[in-house]
Amino acid sequence: MHERAETGRIVQVSNRVALPGETQTGGLAVALAAAMDGAPALWLGWSGRMASDARLPLETLHSGRIEYALLDLPADDFDGYYHGFANRVLWPLFHYRIDLVDYHREHHEAWLRVNRYFAEALARRLRADDTVWVHDYHLIPLARCLRELGVSNRIGFFLHIPMPPPDVLRALPVHRDLLEALACHDLTGFQTRADLDNYQHALRQHGITRHGRSGAFPIGIDVEAIAAQARSAEAERAEHDLRASLSGRRLAIGVDRLDYSKGLPERFRSFERHLESGAASAGQLTYLQIAPPSRIQVPEYQDVRRELEGLAGHINGRHAKPDWTPIRYVNDSFPQPVLAGFHRAAAIGLITPLRDGMNLVAKEYLAAQSPADPGVLVLSRFAGAAEELVEALIVNPHDPDAVAEAIDLAAGMPLRERQERWRALMARLRGNDVGHWARRFLETLRAEPRLRGGGAMTTALAGPRSGALTGDSLR
Ligand code: GDG
């Protein structure tokens, strides 16, 4: 109690807030809840509603020691901020998809205005001893806006998505401004060592010497909670029905937001290659892909959805039997405990994004396995998780033959090897769960000397405390 009073509140800011009891598709909610665990906290984010005037309409709710502040966003700027700049410029660019970037100056300006709006709402609620933790690409300029308003609290930032190399970043006309905004934080955190290197490289290339500390903090999951959910799911109807429906075949599973970064068309084609391969396991596996639609207003998401519908129809049309469909493609979301049961029922986890900051589903699949008969994870080398999960079968998602071979290898892997790999992977997950991640980030941030006078930046580049990706890391 005394210690908490000394350290002050944790103030988290993210585009969306997950209210207690709400189910969200996306890893942020669990992670941020873990970060606030037990401490007095404020969580500020968009309410999901538009404001038509400039009154900064803010609704607050309380649950235990956490206060939720929900901000309506200006209707005129919302589209440019969210769909325009965040999700049609930053998301594709940071996932190395320059071809999908659709940059408009006015969207960038709307994005900056909305960040200022967030900053004004937050600044008036901040106390002197609060520690501010900002999440993700929507809010990169927030700290700079707060400094301009005279806020001198410690401010950390965590980028949940990949940080591209300087040459990719340069495709963005405002890349220098973006880097300067990232550098404004007392601590800027990334998912992997490779992301951190890209950031530091870009700072050096641009001669940006005024910056705070930076580090790699690979995010984790709540390992024991997922394992417990998966154990209890065995007694539940949903898992029982799924197992019964397999008629003796084994299950491969993928769970992804329907997003072009997740490599779903490539995965479907790889599964088709597996079906055509003549391998021992061909015809013995059913592939269940759960893909809840997301960002449905963005055209590129509509495109990938159409492509997947075509592919699933094509592959099933060619390979289905009267009593068997090789791909079950489900555009729906399920409660987390149901998903944990589905993972446990699956002999293979197929997680093959073309680019992913971390990929929590890969970790959740592992945590849900039965120790007596664990499944095998087939994981893309381009997921941040591949830096840690080296005992998985690591594949290149652009090579359908290699992915098909990995599927067959996973299907035939002897129990002993599966257990050895799984135990090693679980030791890593437990050594760096979501609680470790949050504590490590906050401790690093709070160890920084406080800024003086709202603006002077420290110049030290990431030192030995921040750089290395060790066994313990955060999202
Ligand atoms: C971003 C980065 C990074 C999925 N379907 C359902 C459902 N989910 C949950 C999963 C998992 C979360 O959503 C997805 O997290 P991912 O990490 O896989 O991917 P993104 O949403 O793209 O998250 C990513 C992450 O942020 C964290 O930093 O790892 O790289 O892109 O927890 O289980 N949850 C429920 N129903 C579903 O149908 N309840």
Closest-CA residue, ligand 1 atom 26, reads 160
Which residue out of 160, 185, 211, 436 is catalytically annotated?
160
Segment 238-248, tens digit of pLDDT: 888 998 999 99
Confirm whether 3 is domain-assigned.
Answer: no
Same domain membership, residue 213 and residue 82: yes
Closest to 224 measured CA to CA, from 83, 362, 326, 366: 366
Residue 356: active-site member: yes
Segment 81-139, tens digit of pLDDT: 999 999 999 999 999 999 999 999 999 999 999 999 999 999 999 999 999 999 999 99
Same domain membership, residue 189 and residue 335: no
Same domain membership, residue 247 and residue 109: no
Same domain membership, residue 452 and residue 368: no
Closest to 41 measured CA to CA, from 130, 140, 167: 130
Closest-CA residue, ligand 1 atom 27, reads 27
| pLDDT at res. 64 | 84
Kindly state the helix (H) or strand (E) to which residue 177 belongs, with its residue range.
Answer: helix 175-183
Confirm whether 168 is domain-assigned.
Answer: yes
Atom of ligand 1 nearest to the CA of 385: 29
Confirm whether 101 is domain-assigned.
Answer: yes
| pLDDT at res. 454 | 42
Same domain membership, residue 367 and residue 304: yes
Kindly state the helix (H) or strand (E) to which residue 134 belongs, with its residue range.
Answer: strand 131-135
Residue 222: active-site member: no
Q: Which residue has the tokens 């006015």?
A: 106
Intervals of the chain under pLDDT 50: 1-5, 452-475
Amino acid (1-letter code) at residue 252: A
Same domain membership, residue 404 and residue 465: no
Same domain membership, residue 284 and residue 137: no
Same domain membership, residue 318 and residue 243: yes
**CATH number of 212's domain:** 3.40.50.2000
Confirm whether 367 is domain-assigned.
Answer: yes
Confirm whether 462 is domain-assigned.
Answer: yes
Same domain membership, residue 100 and residue 34: yes
Confirm whether 475 is domain-assigned.
Answer: no
Amino acid (1-letter code) at residue 160: H
Sign, CA torsion 84/74/46/12: positive
Buried b (16+ CB within 10 A) or exposed e, 310-339: ebbeebbeebeeeeeebbbbeeebbebbbb
Closest-CA residue, ligand 1 atom 15, reads 27
Atom of ligand 1 nearest to the CA of 360: 17
Distance from the alpha carbon of residue 382 to the mean position of ligand 1, in angstroms: 16
Q: How far apart are CA 276 and CA 282, in angstroms?
A: 7
In the structure encoding, which two tokens stand for residue 433, read together? 């769960």
Find the domain containing 388 and state its range. Answer: 223-431
Distance from the alpha carbon of residue 25 to the mean position of ligand 1, in angstroms: 6
Same domain membership, residue 275 and residue 154: no
In the structure encoding, which two tokens stand for residue 79, read together? 């589209």
Which residue out of 77, 356, 408, 433 is catalytically annotated?
356
Same domain membership, residue 216 and residue 364: no
Distance from the alpha carbon of residue 370 to the mean position of ligand 1, in angstroms: 22
Same domain membership, residue 357 and residue 333: yes
Is ligand 1 within 6 A of the CB of residue 462? no
Is ligand 1 within 6 A of the CB of residue 209? no
Is ligand 1 within 6 A of the CB of residue 23? yes
Residues 6 or more apart whose Cβ sits within 8 Å of residue 19: 61, 63, 68
Closest to 429 measured CA to CA, from 179, 171, 201, 226: 226
Distance from the alpha carbon of residue 351 to the mean position of ligand 1, in angstroms: 12
Confirm whether 2 is domain-assigned.
Answer: no
| pLDDT at res. 53 | 66
Closest to 106 measured CA to CA, from 174, 51, 168: 174
Confirm whether 43 is domain-assigned.
Answer: yes
| pLDDT at res. 462 | 36
**Residue spans of beta strands (DSSP E) within 277-371:** 285-290, 327-330, 348-351
Distance from the alpha carbon of residue 369 to the mean position of ligand 1, in angstroms: 18
In the structure encoding, which two tokens stand for residue 105, read together? 């100056």
Three-state DSSP string of 302-327: HHHHHHHHHHHHHHHHHHCECCECCE
- Structural domains in the chain (count): 2
For a pocket test of ligand 1, which of 257, 264, 380 has the largest count of ligand atoms closer than 8 A to its C-beta?
257
